Amino acid sequence: MTNLNNQKYYINRELSWLKFNSRVMAQSTLKHLPLLERLKFLAIYATNLDEFYMIRVAGLKQLFAARVIESGPDRLTPLQQLREIRLYLNKEKTEVINSYKTITTQLKKEGLHIVQYDELNSTLQKEADEYFFEHLFPIVIPIAVDSTHPFPHLNNLSFALAVKLTEKDNNTETKFGMVRISRILPRFIQLGDEHYIPIESLVEKHIENLFPGFIAQSVSPFRVTRNADIVIEEEEADDFMEILEQGLKLRKKGAFVRLEISNNTDEEILEFLNAHLKIFPRDIYKYDIPLNLGTLWQIVGNQHFAHLTIEPNKPKLLPPFEENRSIFDTIENGEAVLVHPYESFEPVTKLIQSAAKDSKTLSIRMTLYRVEKNSPIIAALIDAANNGIQVTVMVELKARFDEENNLLWAKSLEKAGAHVVYGISGFKVHAKVTQIIRKIDNKLKFYIHLATGNYNGATAKIYSDISFFTSREKIVTDSTTFFHILTGFAKKQRLKYLSMSPTQIKPKLLSMINHEIAFKEKGRIILKANSLVDQDIIKALYKASMTGVKCDLIIRGICCLRPGIKGISENINVISIVGKYLEHARIFYFEHSAIKMYISSADLMPRNLERRIELMSPIEDERLVNTLKEILDLQLADNELSWELKENEIYIKKQKGIGKSINSHNILESFINKTYKSFYKVRVKKGGNLARKFLKEN
Strand spans (E) along 181-238:
188-191, 195-198, 214-226
Q: What is the pLDDT of residue 320?
A: 82
- 444, 467, 487: which is the final residue of a domain? 487
- Verify cis geometry, omega within 30 degrees of 0, for the bond prior to 502: yes
Label residue 579 by pLDDT band (50, 70, 90). Answer: very high
Residues 27-44 have pLDDT tens digits of: 999 999 999 999 999 999
CB-CB contact of 195 with 113 (8 Å): yes
- Asked if residue 314 belongs to a domain, the reply is no
Mean pLDDT on 307-313 = 90
Distance CA 515, CA 517 (A): 5
DSSP assignment of 600-637:
ES--BSHHHHHSEEEEEEEE--HHHHHHHHHHHHHHHH
| The amino acid at 615 | L
pLDDT at 252 over 60: no
Residue 1 lies in a domain: no
Q: Do residues 101 and 43 share a domain?
A: yes
Is 279 a domain residue? yes
> pTM for the complete prediction?
0.92
Domain at 597, CATH number: 3.30.870.10
Q: What is the pLDDT, as a whole number, of residue 233? A: 39
Name the 3-class secondary structure at 427. strand
Q: Which residues have CB under 8 Å from 97's CB, separation 6+?
A: 287, 288, 289
Residues sharing a CB contact under 8 Å with residue 288, sequence separation 6 or more, in sequence order: 97, 262, 263, 264
More confident: 171 or 231: 171
Average pLDDT over residues 453-467: 94
pLDDT of residue 109: 97
Question: Are the beta carbons of 56 and 91 closer than 8 angstroms?
Answer: no
Please pick, among 206, 430, 449, 665, the residue that the annotation labels catalytic.
430
Give me the mean pLDDT over the 228-242 stretch: 46
The two beta strands, 159-167 and 174-180, are antiparallel
Q: In this structure, are 168 and 248 located in the same domain?
A: yes
Which residues does 218 contact at the CB level (< 8 Å), separation at least 6? Answer: 163, 164, 265, 266, 268, 269
Give Rg (Cα) of the chain.
27
Residue type, 342: Y
Burial of residue 429 (CB within 10 Å: 0-12, 13-18, 19+) is buried
DSSP 57-86: IHHHHHHHHTT----STT---HHHHHHHHH
How much is the pLDDT for 570? 97
Rounded Cα gap, residues 228 and 96, in angstroms: 24
**31 lies in some domain:** yes
Once rounded to an integer, what is the mean pLDDT over residues 568-584? 97
pLDDT per position as a tens digit, 605-657: 999 999 999 999 999 999 999 989 999 999 999 999 999 999 999 999 988 76
Q: How far apart are CA 688 and CA 631, in angstroms?
A: 8
Inter-residue contact 414 to 436 (CB < 8 Å): no
**332 and 381 assigned to the same domain:** yes
Residues 163 and 271 in one domain: yes
Q: Between residues 254 and 276, which one has the greater pLDDT?
A: 276
Strand, coil or helix: what is 93? helix
- SS3 assignment, position 421: strand
Report yes or no on 304 lying in a domain.
yes
The answer to whether 177 and 165 are in contact (CB under 8 A) is yes
355 part of a folded domain? yes
> DSSP label at 311?
P
Write out the DSSP string of 641-684. Answer: SEEEE-TTS-EEEPP-TTS----HHHHHHHHHHHHHHHHHHHHH
Q: Do 344 and 216 have their domain in common? A: no
In-domain check, residue 492: no
Residue 237's pLDDT is 37
In a domain, 165, yes or no: yes
Return all residues near 556 (Cβ < 8 A) that are at least 6 apart: 20, 529, 530, 531, 576, 577, 578, 582, 583, 584
pLDDT band for 523, please (50, 70, 90 cuts): very high
Structure-model confidence comparison of residues 23 and 673, the more confident one = 23
Percent of the chain predicted with pLDDT > 70: 90
Please tell me what DSSP assigns to residue 371: -
User: Would you say 357 and 330 are in contact if contact means Cβ atoms under 8 Å apart?
Assistant: no
Whether residues 159 and 242 fall in one domain: yes
Q: Which of helix, strand or coil describes residue 267? A: helix
Alpha carbons 691 and 679: distance in angstroms, whole number = 10
Residue 148 makes CB contacts below 8 A (sequence gap 6+) with none
pLDDT band at 408 (very low <50, low <70, confident <90, very high): confident
159 and 76 in a common domain: yes
Active site residue 113: no
Q: Nearest to residue 542, comparing CAs of 573, 516, 572, 518?
A: 572
Mean pLDDT of 489-505: 88
Residue 239 has pLDDT above 90, yes or no: no
What was the pLDDT predicted at 569? 97
Whether 459 and 570 share a structural domain: no
How many domains, in total, are found in the chain? Answer: 3
Read off the pLDDT band of 562 (50, 70, 90). Answer: very high
Compute the distance between CA of residue 157 and CA of residue 166 in angstroms, rounded to an integer.
29
Based on the fold, state whether residues 543 and 474 are members of the same structural domain: no
Q: How far apart are CA 398 and CA 689, in angstroms?
A: 41
H or E element, residue 485: helix 473-487
Neighbour count for residue 23 (Cβ, 10 Å): 19
In angstroms, how far apart are the furthest CA atoms of the chain? 91
Question: How many CB atoms lie under 10 A from the CB of residue 567?
Answer: 9
What are the pLDDT digits (tens) for 69-88? 877 899 999 999 999 999 99
Instruction: Tell which of 273, 308, 343 closes a domain.
Output: 308
Whether residues 128 and 219 fall in one domain: yes
Give me the chain's average pLDDT, please: 90
Q: Which DSSP symbol is given to 533?
A: -
Is residue 414 within 8 Å of residue 421, measured between CB atoms? no
Q: Give the domain-ending residue among 430, 465, 487.
A: 487
> pLDDT band at 189, cuts 50/70/90?
very high
Domain CATH code at residue 215: 3.30.1840.10
> Quick one: 480 and 525 in the same domain?
no
Q: Are residues 160 and 289 in the same domain?
A: yes
Domain that holds residue 458: 327-487
